[in-house]
Structure 1
Amino acid sequence: MARPGKKKPNASKVWRALLLWLHIVAAVCWMGQALAVTVLLIISATSAAGDLKIGTILASDLLDQKILGYSAITAAWTGFGLSTTTTWGYFRSRWVTTKFVMTIAQILTGTSVAGAAYPQLEAASLDGKNGASILLAIIAVGLVAAGGAFQVFLSVSKPWGRTRWGHRAQTRGAEGRLAPAPTLVVAGLFLAALVDLAIGLVTGIPLPSVSTAMLVVALVVRRRARTRLIATDAAAGGGRSAADRGSVGSTRVLDGVVAARTQLTDSLVQLRVAVADGSPVSEWEPGAHIDLLLPSGKVRQYSLHGDPEDRGGFDVSVVREAEGRGGSIEIFDLAEGAKVGIGGPRNNFPLVNAPRYLFVAGGIGITALKPMLEAIDHAGQPWQLIYRGRTRVGMPFADELSTQYPDQVSISAADADARPNLDAALAGLPDGSVVYCCGPSSMMDSLDEKISNGYPNLTLHVERFAATARDDSQNRPFKVFLPQTGELVDVPADKSALDSLRSVLPELPGSCETGICGSCEMRVLAGRPEHRDDILTAAEGDRTDVMYPCVSRSKDPLLVLDA
């Protein structure tokens, strides 16, 4: 296992940065040139007959016809390329959709209104007059310049949150996800823009022919990647999206082995577990976790923090808890070569599309968030990490993250630093942003309260290592009907639905049995479940299509479950 340290620059990230900078430079030039054309047209319109009136019209025509077109085409098609190669898409965030529509409108306005007016404007200026369409041309080019300035504002502030399409995509699992494009595609779009620019300068006609062809290639690659994601989710049992959590996670347990062990501190160990026969591990996405079945028979869940593309094994980190239930101590003491069972992976903590991300980690909670922020950074989307721990030496990956992302990571240790200002971080997020938190229950509860009471425009996702306290004193009995077997099962007030169902279906899956791992997930066919798990978000509390019977119960006397 590679030791933490400064990583080499990611090739895809470098090419995406080049594409982004070409887009920014071209867009600024487009805006500046449109402003210059507007000023020249105004000067001509307000000047008396003579060389100044003629010269400013000719200069504006030269700028509009021979220079502005290149920057406009380059800015537009590199912007389209960024939407195609990142998880932004075109119609998922309102600010991106607005920019897309404005770009098309600006190009059409500039060519059909201003460009078409120049022959008549030049002829009129030679006669010492203003052409009949000069006011329309000034307004059209002025709107192009103003539109460019407004697009700069949109790019910086990213306002207004997600579109309906974006909200719908967020709830469709693999069908709704957009994967960042491969490095070759991003590089191809950047180089295509330069080739089009060179061809345009030679021919005198700014046309995005090569860029358009490359955009088609990028869209095809994206479509194939999406199809692959859907197939992967289906093979794994249906995926784990925010709204399609109804399919039971994989319960197959593989024979595994501790392939590598690195003790990071006196109480922290990093393990790589691999399949014993050497076959590749299952694919997974950021936010996923696995079950480890220990030699003692204990089962524990641990977040994956390695590279999702690395199929050689799963990487997990474990803190030795002397006052815990014994699982962490047993795992901490495992040596290389020790045999373990591997269940999963499952993902109850999926990464969703958003205009901006704030990650808040406490201690070992960084393991669940690290693959997420790496994926978001790879996609070129804005993010920030606030990472808090007891001591700097006991904070996994602190040095690696602060070195690799110095401008985005804020690290503080309780024994040396003041508490981070979460309110300031939350207040700086645009509407529709997503906050991910994993750490001690007190941290997550505090953040939940802050967002619920003061920042309703944000969405919070949490991953808990321990179940929240539940009051079972008001439990009521209910019945569960299983259509596939015809069984009607009584669930008494002092027994969980999962335990009751196991009286007729002893092989029903279940691991933590505290409502945090998701392995017991079942589809609800009728009735209203009373959700008591720590998997569904607060916004999903009224869902009637899924439940976790290890802790959840029923609001109705009868539930119908698919089992």
Structure 2
Amino acid sequence: MKPNRSTTTGRTTGAFQLSRPARRAWLVLHVAVSVAWLGLSLCLLVLGVSGATTDSAETGAAAYRAMKIFGDWMIIPISLLTLVSGVVLALGTSWGLARYRWVWTKFWLTLATAAASVFALRSGIDDAAAEVDRLRAGEPVPLFADLVAAPAVSTTAYLFMTAISVLKPWGLTARGRRWREAGRARGHVRRGPATGRDGGTPAPDRVTPSPGTPAPARGTPAPGRAGGPGRATPA
């Protein structure tokens, strides 16, 4: 990462920006693990519903044992990689972590779902798998409703976070507005996700004429227009 310097004063603004190759690498990682987390949640939901609704004791026991395999091997690395890669991308780009409402909301949702998955969902899966291992052959499998509710809630949360990542709604936070006003007061030319309406779509930088550039004379047609100002003459 490299310091973010003002294009007008050359002074460091205090933030660190990821280089372009690093930003792309972190973005690919973040998208990959986020999609994997959503897929994992859907798999756990399907297995939980299967275990709760099947009439076969063997199928129910197999569903909960399969959930334990996913929980033991995938929940912790995928959830932590999603959280860490998202924070790195936020802090290493102009989006920031607390400048835009959608980024701030997504951070807290990711943190909450990661904590719930690691500390609550995994323990529930372990308890269910241990319970079915104690059953005798042909004995009915108990109903574990929490292993249906938890994946359903997490899947809904991941779909919501996917939507706000694409739509980027709600504009700037109070901290983001102060950051933008401070940048304007210093005369910085900001690169990144800034629009005049505080939206999420990046806008091109404003071009400021260099000192000494003569202004066009009054009455002179605008460049690229023939036949006087305001009308273009067809070729």
**Both structures adopt the same fold (TM-score exceeding 0.5):** yes
Is residue 75–residue 118 contact of structure 2 (8 Å, CA) maintained in 1? no
State the partner residue of 1:73. 80
Is structure 2 residue 71 aligned with structure 1 residue 64?
Answer: yes
Alignment of 1:106-505 (within 5 A): 106-126=113-133, 127=135, 128-131=140-143, 134-173=144-183, 241-242=184-185, 285-286=188-189, 354=194, 355-359=200-204, 390=224
State how far apart, in whole Å, the 2-side matches of 1:62 and 1:97 are.
Answer: 32
The Cα of 1:356 is off from its aligned counterpart by: 2.1
Is structure 2 residue 50 aligned with structure 1 residue 43?
Answer: yes
The Cα of 1:66 is off from its aligned counterpart by: 0.8
Is residue 57–residue 141 contact of structure 2 (8 Å, CA) maintained in 1? no
Answer with 77-86 or 350-359: which moved more.
350-359
State how far apart, in whole Å, the 2-side matches of 1:70 and 1:352 are.
Answer: 30
Is residue 192–residue 202 contact of structure 2 (8 Å, CA) maintained in 1? no
State the partner residue of 1:201. none
- For 1:105, the aligned partner's letter is A
State the partner residue of 1:24. 31
The Cα of 1:92 is off from its aligned counterpart by: 0.7
The Cα of 1:49 is off from its aligned counterpart by: 4.4
State how far apart, in whole Å, the 1-side matches of 2:234 and 2:68 are.
Answer: 64
The Cα of 1:143 is off from its aligned counterpart by: 1.7
Paired residues, number:
191
State how far apart, in whole Å, the 2-side matches of 1:367 and 1:35 are.
Answer: 54
Give the TM-score normalised by structure 1: 0.31
Q: What is the alpha-carbon root mean square deviation over aligned residues?
A: 2.9
State how far apart, in whole Å, the 2-side matches of 1:158 and 1:105 are.
Answer: 20
State how far apart, in whole Å, the 1-side matches of 2:106 and 2:82 are.
Answer: 11
Greater per-residue helix proportion: 2
The Cα of 1:118 is off from its aligned counterpart by: 2.1
Q: Over residues 149-197 of structure 1, what are the superposed CA-to-partner deviations in whole Å (9 max), with x where a residue is unaligned? A: 1111111110000111111222223xxxxxxxxxxxxxxxxxxxxxxxx
The Cα of 1:20 is off from its aligned counterpart by: 0.2
User: Identity of paired residues, percent?
Assistant: 23
For structure 1, which runs of at least 5 residues remain unmatched after alignment? 1-10, 174-240, 246-284, 287-349, 369-387, 392-413, 418-563
Pair 1:113–1:22, CA change in 2 (3 A)? same
- For 2:95, the aligned partner's letter is W
Describe the SS at the equivalent of 2:204. strand
Describe the SS at the equivalent of 1:130. coil
For structure 2, which runs of at least 5 residues remain unmatched after alignment? 1-17, 195-199, 211-221, 226-231
Pair 1:88–1:82, CA change in 2 (3 A)? same
Larger radius of gyration: 1
State how far apart, in whole Å, the 2-side matches of 1:73 and 1:389 are.
Answer: 54
State how far apart, in whole Å, the 2-side matches of 1:46 and 1:28 are.
Answer: 27
The Cα of 1:357 is off from its aligned counterpart by: 2.7
Higher relative contact order (CA 8 A, sep 6+): 2
Pair 1:356–1:56, CA change in 2 (3 A)? same
Pair 1:92–1:416, CA change in 2 (3 A)? farther
- For 2:201, the aligned partner's letter is R
The Cα of 1:14 is off from its aligned counterpart by: 1.9
State how far apart, in whole Å, the 2-side matches of 1:352 and 1:171 are.
Answer: 15
Give the TM-score normalised by structure 2: 0.71
Is residue 34–residue 68 contact of structure 1 (8 Å, CA) maintained in 2? no
